[in-house]
A and B are shown apart, each in its own frame.
Chain A
Amino acid sequence: MGRELTFADAKIIEIVNKNFVPVAMDDWFQRRRQDAEGDFFRKVADQGPRKGSGGGTRQGIYAFTADGKLLQYRNSQDPEVMRAFLLSALKSWGSLSQADRNAAKVAIPELKKIDPRYVPILTKDTLIVNVHARILEKENDFFCHGTCKFPGGQRASHDHMWIRESEWQALLPKDPKVGQEIAIPENLVYRLARFHLIDNTRGEPPMWARNEVRKASLKLFVSDITKEEVRLKLTGAILLATDADEKNAKRGYDASMLGEICYEPSKRKIIKFNAIVMGEHWGEGTYTGGSRPGRAPFGIAFELADPAKPADRVPPQAIREFAGYFEASK
């Protein structure tokens, strides 16, 4: 979250947009993949201080040429430091010899093969749902943004839920009738509960184990039908807790769900996926310290993504284990 603040700086945005080709990557995948892209990334990173010894992280901010010559490396959240870093990197770029500049214009070959273990594949028919979580507080019988000591912890988080074609097709009845109930695939319920009802507002969160899903009573039914669209209403209650007795659970989320899914019956195309999960969250994980004390209001909003936007195609955090993500009920 802190680095979001860095790249929110107006001067930094201007410098980056004017001078660089910006790319954002997940180090967990990049440092592991055994293919030409993984080799290239490690070649760049190994010129800096983070050589990933013992398989460790290489995270940070790198400036380099297209052929892999490192110009600068920093790992800082301070906008002032980052402004200086960018200007220094541009100075290094401007100081390259003509031979190095020519080398940087090298024709990049196509990637012949990728390491399937560390490159999540987004298929064309996968439905992407954006997921945003936020800490909240009660205010005048309603809610407002929460406050948190952790830098940036009050901001909404970003993640994406991937729903396979067979799963979202199963949500759309072929001959809908108002009031008709639709069975939600079990894997989808568990995927939602285990991997998307998480507190990722302060960093990489722990996911829920299957047996920590203490309750997931979701109901989907047809609420309205017109020629243009069929509306489905989603309601439910969810209890996630690290102990079977929630009073003893160090971490938990007790919440309700409400949402609406709309689709065009003629094209069987989902045109709306709006939902909220709202309740009380408590506890924290190894990398999400600084949570608020006790139980506190916590909301999660879902909406259809736009696959044309690169940021909306970023894989779900929990997909690091592909099979575990898609077969969440096992």
Chain B
Amino acid sequence: MRLDITLCLGLTFGLAYSQASEPIKPEQFNKLHAIIKPNPDEEKFMQIPWMIDLWEARKKAASEDRPILLWEMDGHPLGCV
């Protein structure tokens, strides 16, 4: 087992540790941040002005005489997945 500090974790977060993953180099930060984030091509579905409140969508649909399109998923479609 690499780490013995596990049991103490609830008490303090400042303990010494051994580290397998390499520290992130500050000069690589911006490039890495940009690579991880969604790029515009992946965000096309956000060109649709999704509302996140069904009741408010009902009001809007009634006042604009339009049907509602509901995207319903286990896990919010604009959230975790």
Instruction: Mark A residues whose CB is within 8 Å of B.
Output: 1, 3-4, 6-8, 10, 13, 16-17, 19-28, 30, 36-37, 40-41, 44-45, 57-67, 71, 86, 89-90, 93, 101, 104-108, 111, 132-134, 136, 142-145, 155-160, 184, 186, 189, 200, 203-205, 213-219, 235, 237, 239, 244-246, 254-258, 274, 276, 278-280, 299-301, 303, 310-311, 313-317, 329
Contact = CB atoms under 8 A, between A and B. Distances in A.
Interface in B37-70: 37-39, 42, 44-55, 57-70
Interface of B: 1-3, 5-6, 9-10, 13-15, 17, 19-24, 26, 28-29, 31-33, 35-39, 42, 44-55, 57-81
Nearest to B62: A66
A62 B72 contact: yes
A314 B79 contact: yes
B6 A214 contact: yes
B54 to A, nearest CB: 6
Given A20-B67, A62-B69, 11 more contacts: A23-B68, A25-B54, A40-B54, A62-B68, A105-B63, A134-B36, A204-B81, A215-B17, A217-B17, A237-B21, A311-B52
Contacts, number: 286
A20 B69 contact: yes
A239 B3 contact: yes
B20 to A, nearest CB: 5
Task: Determine the main DSSP class of A at the interface with B.
Answer: mixed
A30 B72 contact: yes
A101 B32 contact: no
B3 A215 contact: yes
